[in-house]
Every structure is written in C-alpha cells, then in structure tokens.
A and B are shown apart, each in its own frame.
Chain A
Amino acid sequence: MGTHKPFFLWRHLNKLRWLSLSIVFAMLVALPFIHVYQTYAAAHAYDLLAPSEKQLYDVMETLTAAFADDPAEDLDAIKGNTWSGSFFGLQLSDPLAVAGQMAAGLKAYAPFLLTALIPVLFTLVLGRFFCGWICPATFLYELNTNVSTWLARLGFKVGNRRFDRRLKYAVLGVGLALSAATGSVLMAAIYPPAIVGRELYYAIALGGFGAGAVFFVGTLLFDTLVARRGFCRYLCPGGALYALLGRYRLVRIRRIVESCNDCARCNAVCEFGLDPLRDHFGQECNNCAACIAVCPTQAMTFVLRPTDYPEQGPGHLGKQYRRNHPESAAKGGH
C-alpha cells in the first residue's frame, strides 16, 4: 500500500506536551517562592529572618543568581499566571478573562483587550491547544485520570458517564450573562487554570488557600467519580471559548485510513472523549497528540486544513475492511 508515513517527530509530541505542562506548573509553583524571596531581598532583611526563611532565601538565591543581579527588580520579568501574566514586558491574558471582564463592566478597555490578542491568534491557528499544552489544571486533571485508571484496576468504581458536550457552551453563555447581571467576573471563580494559578500563589506566598481550592478539589472528585475529564469536557467555559475560536483551526489531526487497523486505542486515550477512529475531531480537539503517540500503526498525522476530513470508513488494515475488500488481502499487502 502506497501510504505516506507521518513525520516521525509527531509521535513524540506528546512527551513535549508533558514537558510544556510540567514547565508551566513548575513555574506557577516557583513564582510565589520567587516573590517571597524578592520581598526579603527588597527589605534587605536577611539578618532579621527566621531560620526557615533564611533557608528559603538561600535556596532561591542559589537558583536565581544566574538570572538576576538585583532580585527585587530583575525577577519581575515573569509574573502572574495563565489567567493573566506579564512575560518580559509582554502582558498576556486568557481570552475568557477579557470576555468576562467586558461582560461584567459592559465596556471594553482597549489595553486589556490587546493582551488577549496573541492567545486568540494562536487559538485561531492551533485550536484549543491551551487546554492540552499550557493549562495548569490539565496537568493535574491528566494525572488524576491516571490515578482513576489505577483505582479502576484495583477494583474501585470509577465514573465514566457521558453528558452532552454542548453543555459547556451554555456554561459560557450563562457565565457571561450572570457576569453582566452581577457586575463581577464570575468565570474567574470556576475556571480551573485561573483557580490553580491563584491558589498556588495564595498557599505559598500568602500562607493559605483562598476560596477556589475547595471548588477545584470538587472538580477533581467530579472527574474521578462521575465523568472522566468531566469538567473539561462538559463544563469548562474557557474550553468552550477556545473551542469556538478554534473551530476553523488550520492545524488538525487526521487519520490515515490506509494504515489504520481499527484498534481504537486513539478513542481510549482521548482525554476529551472524541472519536478519532471515525474521524470525528471537530472543534473540541485540542491537538494534544496523545492519539498520535499511542497509534501502533502510525495512522495519525497532522494536516493543514480548516475543516476535518469527512468520514473515511474503516481502516484498511482492519478486519472489517478486509472482509469487504477481499482483493486487498489477495494482493498480500498486509
């Protein structure tokens, strides 16, 4: 069979994705420590610190000495979280933050609007990539999925219900309407990446979790006990906004029907419960490349086109196709 093989690196993108997720999460843990260190440094108060604080000071000084001559100023280069942050002078915000803030105030503030420009442009090309590659909550949710799998193997009952995926668009719409009605950015309180970034800062630098930690644990329990990755699939308003923006994304995953053997591992591994086996990616796919990594016959690849391939039928290496096309077996291809 004259089929083209996918570029060999695509199979390893999933590892790169985990590296990206880990770096983002590690930064969200490190930044509060860096800030505490900065406050000590700004106060020139080393001699007044308690022994444990001195320890923190020494560790952070060792870690950051290579990047900063004056920690109190130079370490301000990277601040914030994925909800809104400043990165070497560049202000970046989540599009949901901008949408929510516009709804709450019923007006647009141009400088803040512009901070979402780069994320929106990336989303238009790459689709819902934030959900798979950056979101600090995804890092915890995917680990939670693994834990659930282990629990299931040990004999615990793990929830795997399915709801209507369109519910999250309703959550987004209701959130915008309620924000406009109450005059506060309500999405900030239920959007997991915003919660994770914020609560890590509260817990490390301010000495205690805020209001969101309990809600986040609730979503973890929902994922374990009710529906796998349930919050992201059915409820997340940010995921809904990203999915809408990335509906006609250019970079898509595509099944190469000639080398597919219908093993359905892609469907099993898909965190968002999509159906790559039947070419149903749609706007929900976050280009996480887990299906590419897991495919035993290298039948998944990236393509550049604004819409999905129409259904291609059963894979040519699968039983069903060979039964219907006896000549393909006679040729002795596979």
Chain B
Amino acid sequence: MRRRGALQRLIRGAALLAAASLPYGMARLMVPEAKAQSRNHIRPPGALKDDAAFIAACIGCGLCGEVCPPRCIRFHGRDGGEKVNTPWINPEEKGCTLCNKCMEVCPTEALVETPLKEIDMGIAQIDRAACYPWVDRGICGACVSVCPLGDQAIGFEMWNQYRPIIKSGCVGCGLCVEVCPEPSLPIWVVDRMQGSVAKHSV
C-alpha cells in the first residue's frame, strides 16, 4: 500500500515537472540553432569576451539596440538557439560608431563600459587579392577615411599611398566594412586571436 502511494506521488511529480517544462521546451523548439557566420555576427562593444558568459549575463531586454544611434544592433531571432534575443552587429549592413550608449544603458554586466582603446569587437582584415588599390584597380581609401580611430587603427602601406593596412589599434567597429565599395567585401572583422596586423607602414 505504502509503496503504491510512493509510486503514485513519483508519477505525479514527474507529470508536474513535464508540464512545468513544457513552455520552455516549446519556446526552445521555436528557435532552432543555426550556425551564424561570425564575420557578420559580432557582439556589440564592451561585450564579455567569453560568449557563454555573455549569453548567461544578457537578459534580452533590447535596451542596447534601443539606444543605438545608427541602429546597427540587431537581435538573434528564430535562428538564435541558445543565443536567442542577444544582440549582434552586422558590419556589412551597418557598423558601430563607438558612441558608448549601449554600454552605458546595459543593466547587466553583459556590456560593460570600456575605454575606447580597450574595446575589442575583433580586428579588421583586408583581402589583398580583392581590394581595389591592392590589385591596382584604382584609388579608394574609403576605409581609411571613415575610421573613427584614425592612424592607430588603419593606414596606408608604405610604398603605395592608396593601399590600406590594418594596425593593432583597430577595435573592430566595422565602419570600414560598411563603407567598402567593393562588392565582394575584401575587408571584414575577425576575432582578434585570428587576426593579423601589418608590421610596417608609413
């Protein structure tokens, strides 16, 4: 008799747990994980470097996007999986202007206020086989003239005054990617670990 009561309680508890986790399961089913290309899904400035920690810290309130003056911050939707409702920036559409507003408004530690030079969203890379000046198909310099950090982040190569090179001061805001006129986008933002910077310049 006692044992049957215990079994019944166990079954009832299991049913309760199943019913209680149903909404979470349904919400998760609606956001299948899709592998996002890292070059057009970079985190906003000041984001925690460890993406798992960032996902744990971000509550998905959307405040960072709502204060962004160029409206460059977007949010993972049905492609998000674990990352659903967390912010990303696609520099191919719009780059970050490093205005600091998202870091100031974020209520959690997901985006922490960072001095301009210590921001680390990645580092820009240039494909020298496609960039117009690098293949001698004209003069451009759009990326160099738009860079908010100027000389410490991007400059011209020593022997040809129109060939852009990335320097170590680049914080990966992606404005250069946004303005690049070459359709194949020979400039993009990669993780700082994978990036390389020019050793010699003007």
Residues of A within 8 A of B (CB): 31-32, 35-36, 38-39, 42-43, 72, 76, 79-81, 83-86, 91, 93, 97, 100-101, 104-105, 109, 111-112, 115, 167, 170-171, 173-175, 178, 182-186, 188-190, 194, 197-198, 201-202, 205-206, 208-212, 214-215, 218, 235
Contacts and interface: CB of A to CB of B under 8 A. Distances in A.
A76 B31 CA distance: 31
Contact of B107 (A42, A111, A175, A214): A111
B26 interface: yes
Contact of B71 (A167, A194, A205): A205
B61 A72 contact: no
Interface stretch (B77-85, B116-124, B175-183): B77-85
14 contacts: A39-B69, A80-B66, A81-B61, A101-B108, A167-B19, A178-B24, A185-B59, A190-B24, A190-B27, A194-B61, A198-B62, A198-B85, A205-B65, A206-B74
Contacts of B108: 101, 109, 112
Given A80-B66, A182-B82, A210-B78, A194 B60 contact: yes
A72 B77 CA distance: 27
Contact of A79 (B26, B85, B105): B105
Interface in B135-149: none
Contacts of B109: 109, 111-112
Interface residues on B, range: 35 or more
Interface stretch (B3-11, B39-47, B50-58, B156-164): B50-58
Contacts of B24: 174-175, 178, 186, 189-190
Contacts of B71: 35-36, 39, 205-206
Contacts of A100: 59
A178 B55 contact: no
A43 B72 CA distance: 13
B84 A201 contact: no
A85 B16 contact: no
B67 interface: yes
Contact of A185 (B21, B60, B80): B60
B130 interface: no
Contact of B57 (A42, A105, A186): A105
B30 A214 contact: yes
Contact of B69 (A32, A42, A173): A42
Contacts of A81: 61-62
B70 A80 contact: no
Contacts of B192: none
A235 B20 CA distance: 7
A60 to B, nearest CB: 14
A185 B60 CA distance: 8
B30 A84 contact: no
B85 A188 contact: yes
B23 interface: yes
B68 to A, nearest CB: 8
Contacts of B30: 211, 214-215
B63 A84 contact: yes
Nearest to A185: B59
Nearest to B108: A112
Contacts of B70: 39, 42-43
